[in-house]
Structure 1
């Protein structure tokens, strides 16, 4: 079954340039165990329940990114909002960063966020508690501040499948990240170029979607220079769905830019999509257990 999920590239200005947060998943987790990932997880039905949607200001609801299925059909408004909520909830659960604001639009303060850290495990076990926490603290989710960045779908032949939306978000002033010691066991703030270099050197195990979204981030930073300019310029970014395929009988994953992709069995994206040039330059095939 294909499950909706949301992931966030948390960004901040570091001493040598923009940095992105990576967390390492616990080795025993069934999905991506031991890999370094961006904070994120599966959509819960509570993420688009009426109590949760009440914590999103009307203007932010109206400006929320409109998402579509891998085949172009628009998602229901509640699903679009729910995926943005899931992005904020999972970010808080796994990193401790709370992407919420007061009714006046002021980001959640460092002191308030620190006080709420004890709620993370409760929310991880009971996602509906996220809306309750926001209500008790008079906080709201300005989901339109999330920049819709990428869309990756697990190959149709894989035993466990996710339809995952990637978002960008700047860390609110004063907030710091902390692992939860349950799903995440380590964290690292890295410059995107350093992340790719570590992956290339074999010292940082990451999944292909993590690598590809980071490479696109590097290209955007080169174009826009600063974090604020990047977030402003990419607010209405055109996102192309990415659905790799698995070569039958092998452990080899075929990327959409592989010349033989249209002829490989399995679900795939439309050949009409114009894939980003920075991705077309990458290896078109990846073998599990390989580089």
Structure 2
């Protein structure tokens, strides 16, 4: 075994950050999700939260930063400080790139209320012509780490061709901002209550990966955004085990029996 607990012959693992953006609505909190384009190398056709892999450019110790320091995040995610800084930077960057929500403040402490003005910079970020740190510096902004909450930690099973070591974050939609679908990676975006997204999966109208399904089950317990943000989370890495099942394999994790029951119900509904 390696020092991080993985088998030495396992496929490489890439750090990633995923952000669940939530807002209050009349019937309870809603979360922003997108359906990835079918045929993509990872999670094609799946309903997911905004997020993606950590880039080399996220490793910027001079990044303008407000809110809990990288040392605090390192404690929450049980990792070293540079890695924590990269994960939080990737969370903010990917959320901006994928749906236009900018988790940043002006240097005077006031929040960014209209992110559309930065659209051209967003395109440059997506095309790797601009780093997130440079973008913040040029626009007089700082990463608002206090708008994020640490929520979970999942590791892709070793049998998968693409593996990610993913930290999940929670963030309230900043006032005055609204996510969009201006990315080629998705073909559908929506706001929905977690319970409705779970019902869609159970009825075969959507597909959810186990980590997404698990986060939705947690979010469905809260009556408003404030209580979801205030919840104290015990974060331990989850790496689903591979289990033989009826001549094939499936992943096992806490709650996996219910996940596979919902999965089978969805497939039966889709085929009928």
Contact 1:251–1:287, Cα closer than 8 Å, also in 2: no
Residue aligned with 1:122, SS: helix
Q: What corresponds to 2:103 in structure 1? A: 99
Residue aligned with 1:66, SS: helix
Q: What corresponds to 2:258 in structure 1? A: 282
Structure-1 separation of matches of 2:219 and 2:210? 14
- 1:66 corresponds to 2:66: no
Gaps of 5+ in 1: 69-73, 258-278
Which of the numbers 69, 72, 79 marks the counterpart of 1:75? 79
Residue aligned with 1:162, SS: strand
Q: What corresponds to 1:156 in structure 2? A: 158
- 1:8 corresponds to 2:6: no
CA deviation after TM superposition for structure 1 residue 59, in Å: 5.3
CA deviation after TM superposition for structure 1 residue 284, in Å: 6.4
Residue aligned with 2:142, SS: coil
Query: How many aligned positions are there?
Result: 255
For the aligned residues, what is the CA RMSD? 2.5
Structure-2 separation of matches of 1:208 and 1:198? 14
Which of the numbers 36, 52, 55 marks the counterpart of 2:47? 36
What are the within-5 Å matches in structure 2 for residues 45-56 of structure 1?
45-51=56-62, 54-56=63-65
Which of the numbers 249, 262, 267 marks the counterpart of 1:252? 249
**TM-score, normalization by structure 1:** 0.79
Structure-2 separation of matches of 1:59 and 1:166? 16
CA deviation after TM superposition for structure 1 residue 65, in Å: 5.2
- 1:55-91 deviation line (CA, Å, top 9, x unaligned): 11375445435254xxxxx421010111011011000
Contact 2:201–2:263, Cα closer than 8 Å, also in 1: no
Which of the numbers 130, 133, 136 marks the counterpart of 2:135? 133
Q: What corresponds to 1:241 in structure 2? A: 237
Contact 1:254–1:284, Cα closer than 8 Å, also in 2: no
Change (3 A) 1:126 1:251: farther
**TM-score, normalization by structure 2:** 0.85
Contact 2:71–2:81, Cα closer than 8 Å, also in 1: no
Residue aligned with 1:50, SS: coil
- 1:226-277 deviation line (CA, Å, top 9, x unaligned): 211321233xx211221112336965323134xxxxxxxxxxxxxxxxxxxx
Residue aligned with 1:104, SS: coil
